[in-house]
Amino acid sequence: MRTRASTPPRGITCWAGALLTVLVGVVALNPVVGSRLRQASYDLLQIWRTLLSVPRPPDGVVIVDLEPQYRRRFPMTNLVERVHLAQVLHHLKAGGAKAVVLDALLSDEDPSVDPGLAQLLAAHGHVVLGSHAVVESGRALRSIETANPLLLAAAATNGFMEFRRDSDGAIRELEPVLGRLQLRVTNRGIVTTVVTNLPTLSWVAAVRERPDLTRVEARRSRWWLTYYGGARRLPHTNGTDAAAAAAAGFFRNQIVVVGQRHGINDPGECPTGFDTFRSPYGAAARRYDGVEVHATALLNLLHGQWLREVAPWLQLLGTVLAGVGLGWGLSQCRPWRALALAAGLGTAAAAAAGVLAWIGRWWFPWLVLVGVQIPVALAWAVFRHSTRAYLENRLLVRSLSLYLSPQQVARIVRQPTLLQRGGRQQLVSILASDIAGFSRISERMDAEDLMALLNRYYEGAIDCVHATEGTVVKLIGDAIFALWNAPQEQEDHRARACRAALLLRERLGTFNAQPGTLPMRTRVGLHTGTACVGNVGSADRFEYTAVGEAVNLAFRLESLNKQLGTDILATRDALKGIHLQVVSRCLGHFRLKGFDHVVEVHELIQLAGRGASPAWAEPFAAGLHHFQRHEFDLAERAFRQTLSLRPEDGPARFYLETLTALRLVPLPPEWAGEIEIHEK
């Protein structure tokens, strides 16, 4: 059996995998398309850090909770009870608070309280008030609300309380300013759009403590929050306990963020509170209050603990290079090895992302690599090898179908060792056939007609081998070389080979009866012996064959038919154990050219049960008996009797001619009737 891989070239399929991996990576890297991947990349970094070691918030910021009973509710405002706030500010001043950040909007005036509250703000000197910006879709700035002028003038400064909320309701990005907001300004009937930046509350408070942050912000990339675990992790107290906390030194040298820790429950807007935000630790985790997010951002800025996002061009370059490497590299590996390599690379990439984030303070959407590119490259590698295996399997089936029966093909394709080079010693039954006088037939026909004739002949001849589940090893001109008991073992391989030979003779009679067909006669040699069976050739082209003395002997028997005038000859080994299944006659012992030992040769006549043994077989057997005992006269009489019963009997004629030659030469006493054949 010969085969050659006809699958697509490896380089093309590998580059296709690389291109596919690059494309899906670039698409997933897009902030709009891959927003969920970006969010998950960030969230997992926060979760892993907490699982490995629960982060301890650094010192410097505490929270004071203004309890709900001290807050008056007004639609779309965030007003707190001024008297309670004044008491809290008094305790914070007494407790040595470094600064106060008020996450509350004091926009409406309260004439009875605000003058005294303004004096407290001025006396403290480091109070940052919250302002509110109403931003619509498209970054359009609709309006700005600040504290009433009296309080705003008394405070140190103010900042805006808004966050960039992600699509799932979580706050992940740390914004020093609400940037590039578009404000429509009308002046004397002329509408002008002004682009403005509004500083955030946490940024204003941080810059008062660290003026150097302004230089860092000028060259920043996008910043992302570092959380310190789940909600309620930061040091906090409530306004009622502010006096006791101040006495205990809780506020000393601390920046105090004052606000509402239970959301701003405005039923007209959001029943769950529009100042609470989803946790990056999962939907089941407790939500963060706005005051906690401000305090977290303030700690990040004061201690330089925010995460920087890798520049977009570096992310794109890394995605392209990773896609090329993964798509090409995994395509080179077999599925199980590719799976192991993909798992290792994914683990290494996730670990590298964690190290980069928590040691280098840089992060990137690493799940594009781990969650998209590696699976796509792995899927392509599996698909490529599965497709290649399928094509090779179909090629093997197509190749085997030329030599084996469909039943054998179905069983053999499950044996991958069939494609491996090398052989093994195997007892096989061998059929060697040839068309008698084919050279004379070919002289009478042109090439096209001769090819058509051979194709018709082989169609019937190969079917005889396949009908007995034999293996057609080779077609050599007009000759057929077939095996049984290989590549699959068959206990009755001798009987199968004999049935195939007799069926071939029967089919040839039908073939010769067709109009327009020159009469042909097939000579067959059968032998059973040990041969080396396996694949011979190169890695991409091989030939399944059998080699050895047993094969040569089968072809010598096929040639011996020409001298004996027979159609099917078989050795004693080929008929061993099946004498009850076939009818045959012994033709004597021969020493064939190229062989030192004597071979007992039989003629295969018919299958058992197809009728009585022919009458001419008995006198021939008697003649052979006398021949082997040097009783030449009795042998001649018996062979002539055989010809009288069967005038065309070739073996009887052969022995009569041999008797004439033997009478002319002296024979050694040990001669037992063996005949030496000098021709191949």
- What is the residue type of 391? L
Contact 674, 590 (CB under 8 A): yes
Using CA atoms of 510, 513, 519, 525 in order, give the dihedral in degrees to the nearest 10: 10
- Does the pLDDT value for residue 582 go beyond 70? yes
pLDDT, tens digit, 9 for 90 and up, residues 393-404? 776 666 666 555
Residue 72: Cβ-neighbour burial (10 angstroms; 0-12, 13-18, 19+): exposed
Backbone angles phi, psi at 438, to 5 degrees: -65, -30
Q: Name the band, by pLDDT with cuts 50, 70 and 90, for residue 126.
A: very high
Task: Point out the least confidently predicted range of 139-148, 195-204, 294-303.
Answer: 139-148
User: What is the number of other CB atoms lying within 10 angstroms of the CB of residue 105?
Assistant: 22
**Exposure string over 20-54, b if 16+ CB within 10 A, otherwise e:** bbbebbbebbeeeebeebbbbbbbbbbebbbeeee
**Residues forming a β-bridge with 600:** 589
Whether pLDDT at 103 is above 60: yes
Question: Does residue 63 carry a pLDDT above 80?
Answer: yes
Say what the pLDDT of residue 639 is. 95
Domains, in order of start, for the chain: 2-38+310-397 (no CATH), 59-304 (no CATH), 403-604 (3.30.70.1230), 614-680 (no CATH)
* Residue 340, CB-side half-sphere exposure with 13 Å CA sphere: 4
Rounded mean pLDDT of 643-668?
A: 92
Give 50's pLDDT tier (boundaries 50, 70, 90): confident
Q: Tell me the average pLDDT across 299-325.
A: 93
Q: Which residue has the higher pLDDT, 317 or 232?
A: 317
Cβ proximity of 1 and 420 under 8 Å: no
Task: Give residue 58's identity as a one-letter amino acid code.
Answer: P
**Count of CB atoms situated within 10 Å of the CB of 355:** 10
pLDDT digits (tens, 9 = 90+) for 155-166: 999 999 988 888
Tokens coding 10: 């490896």
pLDDT at 76 over 60: no
Cα 347 to chain centroid distance, Å, stands at 18
d(CA 526, CA 666): 33
Residue 227 token pair: 């959380």
Q: Token digits for 254?
A: 């601390």
The pLDDT of residue 538: 64
pLDDT in tens, 506-550: 998 888 877 767 778 899 999 999 999 987 766 556 677 899 999
The string of DSSP letters for 534-594 reads EEEE-SS-EEEEEESHHHHHHHHHHHHHHHHT-SEEEETGGGTT-TTTEEEEEEEEEE-TT
Q: Are 302 and 202 a contacting pair, CB within 8 Å?
A: no
Instruction: For residue 103, give Cα distances in angstroms to 131, 191, 223, 267, 290.
Output: 8, 33, 21, 20, 8
Greater confidence (405 vs 603) lies with 603
Pairing type for strands 61-65 and 255-259 reads: parallel
What is the rounded distance in angstroms from the CA atom of residue 232 to the CA atom of residue 456? Answer: 89
Tokens of 261: 């820790």
**pLDDT value of residue 94:** 92
Q: pLDDT by residue (tens digit) across 341-383?
A: 999 999 999 999 999 998 999 999 999 999 999 999 999 988 8
Q: What is the average per-residue pLDDT within 452-471?
A: 88
Tokens of 239: 């306004």
What whole-number distance in Å separates Cα of residue 459 and Cα of residue 8?
A: 32
- pLDDT tens digits for range 469-513: 888 888 888 899 999 998 888 999 999 999 999 999 999 888 887
Torsion over CA: 111, 117, 122, 125 (sign): negative
Q: What is the model's pLDDT at position 102?
A: 93
Please count the CA atoms within 13 angstroms of the CA of 1 that sit on its side-chain side.
28
Report d(CA 297, CA 277) in Å as an integer: 14
Instruction: Provide CB contacts within 8 A for 55, sequence distance 6+.
Output: 49, 226, 227, 228, 229
Q: Per-residue pLDDT averaged across 83-87, rounded?
A: 86
Banded model confidence at residue 421, pLDDT cuts 50, 70, 90 = low
Confidence at residue 459, expressed as pLDDT on a 0 to 100 scale: 87
Q: Are 133 and 198 in contact (CB under 8 A)?
A: yes
- Radius of gyration from C-alpha coordinates of the chain: 49
Six token digits for residue 430:
């061998």
> Largest Cα–Cα distance of the chain, in whole Å?
155
Q: What's the half-sphere exposure (Cβ side, CA atoms, 13 Å) at 122?
A: 11
- Quick one: pLDDT band at residue 273, thresholds 50, 70, 90? very low
- Residue 190 pairs with which residues in a beta bridge? 187
- Which carries the bigger pLDDT value, residue 187 or residue 649? 649
Q: What is residue 485's three-state secondary structure?
A: coil
Task: Give the pLDDT of residue 624.
Answer: 95
Q: List the single range of 28-37, 410-419, 492-501 with lowest mean pLDDT.
A: 410-419
Q: What does the block give as tokens for 549?
A: 């003395």
Instruction: Tell me how far CA of residue 529 lies from CA of 118, 144, 571, 606, in angstroms.
Output: 114, 102, 10, 22
Q: What is the spatial distance between Cα 362 and Cα 352, in angstroms, rounded to a whole number?
A: 11
Considering only residues 556 and 163, tell me which one the structure prediction assigns the higher pLDDT: 556
Amino acid symbol at 184: R
Instruction: Write down the pLDDT at residue 637.
Output: 96
The better pLDDT of the pair 345, 12 is held by 345
Q: What is the C-alpha to C-alpha distance for residues 94 and 124, in angstroms, rounded to an integer? A: 10
Map tokens 């030496």 to a residue: 676
The number of angstroms, rounded, from the C-alpha of 588 to the middle of its chain's C-alpha atoms is 64
Give the pairing type, strands 61-65 and 236-238: parallel
User: Is 268 a residue whose pLDDT tops 50?
Assistant: no
Are the C-beta atoms of residues 525 and 481 closer than 8 Å to each other? no
User: Alpha-carbon distance 173 to 512, whole Å?
Assistant: 90
Question: Would you state the pLDDT for residue 600?
Answer: 96
